[in-house]
Amino acid sequence: MITYDRLYVGGAWTEPAEPALLEILSPHDGSLIGAAAQAQPADVDRAVAAARTAFDSGEWRDTPPSERITVLRRFNELREEQADRIAELITAENGSAAWFTRAGQAALTRQANAYLIAAESFDWERTLTPSDPDSPVRSVVRREPVGVVAAVIPWNSPFSSATSKILPALLTGNSVVLKVSPENSLSMGLLAELVDRIGLPGGVISVLPAERETSEYLISHPGVDKIAFTGSTGAGRRIAAIAGEQLKRVSLELGGKSAAVILPDADLTAVVNGLKFGSLLNNGESCIAQTRIIAPRSRYEEVVEALAGLVASLPVGDPRDPATFIGPMVRGDQQQRVRDYIELGIAEGARLVCGGPQLPPGLRDGFYVTPTVFADVTPSMRIAREEIFGPVLVVLAYDDLDDAVRIANDSDYGLSGGVWSADVDAALSVARRIRTGTVTVNGAPVGFDGPFGGFKASGIGREYGAVGLGQYTEFQTITV
């Protein structure tokens, strides 16, 4: 059993304010995986105070960017060395299938490299060319770190969410208090071990597993200058309200109900193979999952039949088994939430094509749901509008491309989406009309060089690459 009985506060393992440990149980069978200390407001006070002292001292803030890059490159190297262990821990904690957590390690490398490369050529400081060539005044524009960053992340993809925030925050010279979900206390304890080995000055980073009340205490803390959050849209609204009251900088990566638009000429075999990963990755517990399938009426039943065949064929079971594609939901309440949405879809009049609210055969001990496909879904149904966060697909029909775009955009969300077509130019034309932060064509993976984030209720701000670095800086203009 893995035990973390101390908290990583300000660069040191310290005794928690509350000594009782939270037991971390397997969502597959309820077995005990480990135990970990959980942060309380007193721990937050210590972490924020350490971060503020570290930032104000200037030791990390004033370290040349090239040296900060070297330190963070070392973190990435250490993480790569521990890739198998990280994947195993997330599978054990979350129930994420082993294929997903292992594949995610390569994605983490690409994500980190994109930040490191962007930092090497980042526009840290430049002198502007005066608009009046005869003027004796010149302006120097600098990028300054924001200060103390509260990075708050969800449980569903903990290492990716953590590194998408701590890497740009640290590369730009900030101090960070990383608040992680209790479910991820073990994998995030390992992250703290790695951070502890890279040589950051004391106080620059803390890693605190904690419940929602402590999270809100951190977000509201007067010592915090910026909030970087990934999570639900409901929580994002609350955070935005707090940030607005206190005039804190804020970036929010929130929920999604992403659409996959299938054009009439699309290769259906390729579509189905791509949506296996684009729609059902991480057991469907993914904000970018394309769970609204928008199909041409001329091929509607063909699409429905193909998707149903795919979903019914996916192995469900022990997430540690390499053959498993879909594991359990992370918690019992999440399992019940997904099953309630399946019941709702039936009550709304959608056609249940495969799956249903019943538990998968032989899987009654864990938090499992049966992967499900609904057809004859209309845009007004709740199962087509609300984020289910599980392996549930809904298929909607369209008459022409204008109708397809209208249905895709008829959503409170705007995080991700996809277009499928044999004609790439035609797919690009449709993609440009979809109001989401990211659109993939023919299953292309989301890149880490360009900005990632959402329109509408899917968030504020962007992550990844140079744009992501900029979210953790303030502009300073000096006129000489």
DSSP character at residue 38: -
**Domains of the chain from N-terminus onward:** 2-254+458-479 (3.40.605.10), 259-448 (3.40.309.10)
Q: Is residue 149 a contact partner of residue 471, using CB atoms and an 8 Å limit?
A: no
Q: What is the pLDDT along the chain (480 residues), one digit of tens a residue?
A: 899 999 999 999 999 999 999 999 999 999 999 999 999 999 999 999 999 999 999 999 999 999 999 999 999 999 999 999 999 999 999 999 999 999 999 999 999 999 999 999 999 999 998 888 888 889 999 999 999 999 999 999 999 999 999 999 999 999 999 999 999 999 999 999 999 999 999 999 999 999 999 999 999 999 999 999 999 999 999 999 999 999 999 999 999 999 999 999 999 999 999 999 999 999 999 999 999 999 999 999 999 999 999 999 999 999 999 999 999 999 999 999 999 999 999 999 999 999 999 999 999 899 999 999 999 999 999 999 999 999 999 999 999 999 999 999 999 999 999 999 999 999 999 999 999 999 999 999 888 999 999 999 999 999 999 999 999 999 999 999
Q: Is residue 207 a contact partner of residue 178, using CB atoms and an 8 Å limit?
A: yes
| CA–CA gap between residue 47 and residue 33 (Å, rounded) | 27
pLDDT, tens only, 64-96: 999 999 999 999 999 999 999 999 999 999 999
Could you give the residue numbers annotated as active site?
253, 287
pTM: predicted TM-score of the whole model, two decimal places: 0.96
Element (H, E) at 196: helix 185-196
DSSP character at residue 88: H
Predicted local confidence at residue 134, as pLDDT: 84
| Beta strands at 32-37 and 125-127: parallel, antiparallel or unpaired | unpaired
Q: Which two tokens stand for residue 443?
A: 């299953």
Percent of the chain at pLDDT exceeding 70 = 100
